[in-house]
A and B are shown apart, each in its own frame.
Chain A
């Protein structure tokens, strides 16, 4: 009986506490930088697209909301001819970001994507592609990769040793 009265009193004292609710449209909540929000496609520091259209994100996606088509340019460099994310299906799990070998696909801290029509939630490549490098400002996939591509020959990348001449016996 006494504990009941005490709990009634303690609950009453909560009337003078600060309220926890963040009044969202007026006050923006603090979103952590690793928040998994709207998905974007980033560019490398040179301004070229990072995506190499390897389809790993589409394979990793548990709800199959990513659809893309690959293409190759004159240097033999792969890029997505089209890239489409259906955000009405996306569950923002971030598996695509984990799967991406080139840091091209990234999740941002933007969550305000409400729409009145479902069609508006289908984002095409021009909606997804941003002008900057996103979370990894210095990373350029083609500068560290081991393959010869366009301007960069084999062994010319960052931290990359030149290829061994297998015809020579000397080390």
Chain B
């Protein structure tokens, strides 16, 4: 692959990820409205699509206020961390058999590493704000991330064992006969739940629970710095959806339609499901969240690894 085509892929993926993240804002508002018997934004442009543009102009022209009591350098740098970590995780996603930025042999590990690094952004945002609500939000994010990160990694192990590789393209190609969502059904459910917690979406959005913590870790952030957290969240949803598709739903594989089309359709299906879950489930209590993670999901993930490994060993 020559330099020009790699550059084209890199910027294409970057632009695509950012456009989809912006589109997600519109999609989320329209879908939430649909499920709440409303219309949502439908005035600006066709179907209200330019609402995103209007929102962006607004958030970019807002006063960028840094509180005098904040730890200034950390406060400024944290919103960037989450966007950078999430965007770099896009590097390992194989959109089709030829379109991927970096075909790393440790693709799955890279994804797990980057999504874990993202929590620094939230923890530091809570710390540097010097605000008790922000700090509690940051602490919650760290505890939640620690708990859910563990079994997120474990739930993927079954897939890696069946594919015999950490390379995401090889994982997709191993699903030629059967998508891993069937033999790895439990692994898929666990990964999905961990993914919601990873993206800090409802019902696992305790780090920014409005009803108790004002806005959690980004209470003191405004203007584009808040916009960066927002962007990071929507990039995260897209990333988790794309990972679910890659690991469990055969990536670009599918009949009739072109491969990239299949990938996009499957990813948007899961983005829609994320939004549906937000529309329907209430937020749990914090101790319930932790108990659910450590007492149920972790043992289930371990059992999944054990059983998958046992069956694979017996079969070989």
Chain A residues packing against B (C-beta within 8 Å): 4, 7-8, 10-12, 14-15, 17-21, 23
Contact = CB atoms under 8 A, between A and B. Distances in A.
Nearest to B31: A15
B280 interface: yes
Interface stretch (B34-42, B55-63, B152-160, B305-313): B34-42
Interface in B3-47: 33-39
B40 to A, nearest CB: 9
Nearest to A14: B35
B34 A15 contact: yes
B277 interface: yes
B37 A14 contact: yes
B39 A21 contact: yes
Interface of B: 33-39, 276-277, 279-281
A7 to B, nearest CB: 5
A5 to B, nearest CB: 10
Nearest to A10: B280
Contacts of B34: 14-15, 19
B37 A18 contact: yes
Contacts of B33: 19
A8 B37 contact: no
A8 B35 contact: no
A14 B280 CA distance: 11
A23 B39 contact: yes
A12 B276 contact: yes
Contact of A8 (B36, B39, B276): B276
A7 B278 CA distance: 11
28 contacts: A4-B281, A7-B280, A7-B281, A8-B276, A8-B277, A8-B280, A8-B281, A11-B35, A11-B276, A11-B280, A12-B35, A12-B280, A14-B35, A14-B36, A14-B37, A15-B35, A17-B37, A18-B37, A19-B33, A19-B34, A19-B37, A19-B38, A19-B39, A20-B38, A21-B37, A21-B38, A21-B39, A23-B39
B37 A20 contact: yes
Residue among A10, A17, A21 having the largest count of chain B Cβ atoms under 10 Å = A21
A11 B33 CA distance: 11
A95 B36 CA distance: 37
Nearest to A12: B276
Nearest to B278: A11
A21 B40 CA distance: 9
B281 to A, nearest CB: 6
B202 to A, nearest CB: 12
A17 B34 CA distance: 9
Given A11-B276, A14-B36, 14 more contacts: A7-B281, A8-B277, A8-B281, A10-B280, A11-B279, A11-B280, A12-B276, A14-B35, A15-B35, A17-B37, A19-B37, A19-B38, A20-B37, A21-B39
Residue among B33, B37, B276, B280 having the largest count of chain A Cβ atoms under 10 Å = B280
A19 B281 CA distance: 21
Nearest to A22: B39
B244 to A, nearest CB: 16
